[in-house]
Chains A and B, each alone.
Chain A
Amino acid sequence: MKLRALITGLAAACALAPTARAADVVIGDIDDLSGLYSDVSGPGATEAMKMAIADFGGTVLGRRIVTLVADHQNKPDIGASKFREWADQNGLNMLIGGSNTGVNIAMAKVAAAKKVPFFPVGPGGASLTNEDCTAYTVHYAYDTTALANGTATTIVKGGGKTWFFLTADYAFGSQLQNAAAKVVEANGGKVLGAVRVPLSASDFSSFLLQAQGSGAQVIGLANAGEDFVNSMKAANEFGITKSMKPAALLAFLTNIHSLGLETAQGLYLTTGWYWDLNDQTRAFAKRYFDKMKKMPTMDHAGYYSATLTYLKAVKAAGTTDSDKVMAELKRMKISDLFTPNGYVRRDGVMVHDMYVMQVKSPKESRYAWDYYKVVRVMPGEEAFGPVTGLCPLAPK
């Protein structure tokens, strides 16, 4: 009798547990949910992903759509092992990768081995569609190539011919600097020098004075996050932004919000998306704001769009079979609030327009979060550049 009660109880518990069933379509999200990138992407991105699923109707091909979410804590091994576990045990059909290029490179290897469509949205590293490309990768929101092309081309063409870089002294910083330096030189500009700044330096003023001493017209900030914010603050304090034009090679809306317009005004930057572009983006931003009390970044909109794009591809392919969905993804046009005209190239880059922005002055800003004015809409082909040939899937 007791045994029977136990078995009934267990069965009931199993039925109640929110585990995925074989018939479900399982979408995973592995992101930095608690560390330094958690404002740029993080819990807000998970929310955007769930909004997309709800907007799609909650089912695809008559199957329930369920989500799995994990924090990679910025550790590649945690990201990769979580991905592997979900692929092996939870019937994962698709994974979105949040911030951190290093973690995403580790996860790309799992995507290739387990044949699971993988949408890195948060990371910038262009290597994800070059040396580290896989047949299942769709690099979604932006990459270092597009950032450098957008900001550097626009400034050089606008007369900022001589550059000095303030570069974060690690792989990401030098990749950004190299990408931008190439663009500067290709457009007839000249790089006068660079200073390599240790990561998370407590003070940037010394490096900035060196930049000023170079006599260059433009100071290229090849750093990110807190380092970017602190270097901008010091540049403003020492009056360097009066004599040199600052160019951010990676800046998110949240960074500008932290800086404030008084300090950030005039800064050039490139983004894959901005909340105040048109009615469609504003409508999404309003819905998002009601939930999260902050405006969405390009990562948040990217999460929404990537989820929707995958589901549309599944619907069109009539199956969740990875190879068939990937084939559909590389065939379809992407048109939603994130981009009007995106498509997935054979090396895995989601090619779409990028926006070169200039940060408004406090006077120009008319309402809360009114931070950018569009300097130029850069067509996807120009922003992401030609196929490099470094990805074996896409020879030149």
Chain B
Amino acid sequence: MTTIFGYPLVVVLGQLVLGLVNGSFYALLSLGLAVIFGLMRVVNFAHGAFYALGAYAALVGLNVLGVGYWPALLLAPLVVGALGVVAERLLLRRLHGLDPLYGLLLTFGLALAIEGTLHQVFGSSGESYPVPEALRGVFNLGFMILPRYRAWVIVVSLVVCFGTWFVIERTRLGATLRAATENAPLLQAFGVNVPVLVAATYGGGVALAAFAGVLSAPVILVSSQMGSALVIVVFAVVVIGGMGSILGAVVSGLLLGLVEGFTKVIYPEASNIVVFVIMALVLIVRPHGLFGRE
């Protein structure tokens, strides 16, 4: 049997596919963070809470309003994104131009408030969201059984990640957004409503988090704390990719998912710290991250 580092090829392949699934979640979440940091210089600590809010929006939609998975995939990010816009207009906007540390503290407080509210309303034990009918069942890849839903996660994440990258790096809207980061007063002088643009950016980043929340609802327990551990890993991903780099966030998200998957085979105990070890190494060798600009 073919082996890699002493492990059977089939085992390694299976773990790599699973790593790709987890990497897709990392990529989606770090993408939102990178958009918000890249265009607003805000370290959005509330990202995990908005992710949980997205999952709960889908859950409430299903259980209370009878809104299924497919509409929720669009509606939940819209609703949560709108909340993000409100949070930006009411709170974050007041910190504009101050040290990024203030934004970090504010969003951290926001995360605690959101998670506390979810806990108060829904309790601590969490709830399950069913896998949509059309995506039940499995693919037999020969070397492993891959549930259809996990395959869907990979596909849809890649599409959304590429779409976001395209909008920001290749369209006129994206160019305007980037101009707002470079020189807001000048852009304003050209007649662009910059405050609205900034609020929409935050709402967009938050909507990406909520989208990831809906996407993960069928595979993990929906609970108020579901984002709090994940957001730390995702921050490490963003740092490794280079703060604010969209492409960096996506590529490093996927790569780290793969590395983590491989670690789960060779030394499972280290699987939750391997990302941070890599982050430390990257910071030593390339302080601006793999894709960061000086």
B268 and A196 form a contact (CB under 8 A): yes
* B221-240 interface bits toward A, Cβ cutoff 8 Å, 1 = contact, 0 = none: 10101000110010000000
Q: Are B18 and A205 in contact (CB under 8 A)?
A: yes
A255 to B223, CA, bound (A): 12
Residues facing A in B266-282 (CB within 8 A) are 268-269, 271-273
Give every chain A residue within 8 A of B265 (Cβ-Cβ).
206, 210
Q: Which of B15, B219, B269 contacts A169 (CB 8 A)?
A: B269
Cβ of A38 within 8 Å of any chain B Cβ, yes or no, is: yes
Contact present for A201 and B131 (CB under 8 Å): no
**B270: nearest chain-A partner, CB-CB:** A198
What separation, in Å, do the CA atoms of A37 and B119 have in the docked complex?
12
Flag if A234 contacts B125 (CB, 8 Å): no
In the bound complex, residues from chain B placing their C-beta under 8 Å from that of A201 are: 271-272
Most buried by A among B125, B131, B145, B230: B125
Is there contact, CB below 8 Å, between A239 and B22? no
State in angstroms the CA–CA spacing of A205 and B126 once bound together: 19
By beta carbon, the residue of chain B nearest A264 is B128
Contact between B124 and A36 (Cβ–Cβ < 8 Å)?
A: yes
By the criterion CB–CB under 8 Å, are A206 and B18 in contact?
yes
Interface mask (B90-118 → A, CB under 8 Å = 1, otherwise 0):
00000000000000000000000000000
> Is A197 at the interface (CB under 8 A from chain B)?
yes
Tell me if A278 is interfacial: C-beta within 8 Å of chain B: no
A34 at the interface (CB under 8 A from B): yes
Residues of A within 8 A of B144 (CB): 209
CA distance A66 to B255 in the complex (A): 59
Which among A75-83, A225-233, A268-276 touches the partner chain? A225-233
Is A263 interfacial (CB 8 A cutoff)?
yes
Q: B220 contacts which of A39, A42, A209, A233 (Cβ < 8 Å)?
A: A233
A54 to B230, CA, bound (A): 45
Q: Is the CB of A238 within 8 A of B147?
A: yes
In the complex, A226 Cα to B221 Cα: how many Å?
A: 7
Whether A39 pairs with B124 at a CB distance below 8 angstroms is yes
| Minimum CB–CB distance for A186 against chain B, Å | 27
Residues of B with C-beta under 8 A to A42: 124
Interface magnitude class on chain B: 35 or more
Chain B's nearest CB lies how many Å from the CB of A291?
Answer: 15
Determine the distance from Cα of A258 to Cα of B230 in the docked complex, in whole angstroms. Answer: 21
Contact of B261 among A206, A226, A263 (CB under 8 A): A206
Is A254 in the interface zone, CB < 8 Å from B?
Answer: yes
Asked if B11 is at the interface (CB within 8 A of a chain A CB), the reply is yes
Known: A40-B125, A209-B14. A238 touches B221 (CB 8 A): no
Bound-complex Cα distance A229 to B19 (A): 21
In the docked arrangement, what's the CA distance between A124 and B197, Å? Answer: 54
What are the residues of chain A within 8 A of B127 when measuring CB–CB? 258
How far is it, in angstroms, between the C-alpha of A122 and the C-alpha of B14 when the chains are bound? 39
With A40-B125, A209-B14, A226-B223 known to touch, is A237 a contact of B271 (CB < 8 Å)? no
Pair B124/A203 contact, Cβ less than 8 Å: no
Residues of A within 8 A of B14 (CB): 209
Interfacial chain B residues near A205, Cβ < 8 Å: 18, 21, 150
Q: Does A60 contact B (CB under 8 A)?
A: no
- Alpha-carbon separation in the docked complex, A229 to B124 (Å): 13
Residues of B within 8 A of A203 (CB): 18, 21-22, 219-220
Task: Give chain B residues whose Cβ lies under 8 Å from the Cβ of A234.
Answer: 219
Q: Does A159 contact B (CB under 8 A)?
A: no
- A200 interfacial contact with B, CB 8 Å: yes
B264 within 8 A of A: yes
Across the A-B interface, give the 9 residue pairs with the lowest CB-CB distance, nearest first: A198-B272, A206-B264, A39-B125, A254-B125, A39-B124, A229-B221, A38-B124, A237-B147, A39-B123
Which residues in A have some Cβ–Cβ distance to B below 8 Å?
34-40, 42, 169, 195-198, 200-203, 205-207, 209-210, 213, 225-226, 229-230, 233-234, 237-239, 254-255, 257-260, 262-263
Q: Would you list 17 pairs from A and B whose C-beta atoms are within 8 A, ordered by A residue? A: A36-B124, A38-B124, A197-B268, A202-B22, A203-B220, A205-B18, A205-B21, A209-B11, A209-B14, A209-B15, A210-B265, A210-B268, A233-B220, A233-B221, A238-B145, A258-B127, A258-B128
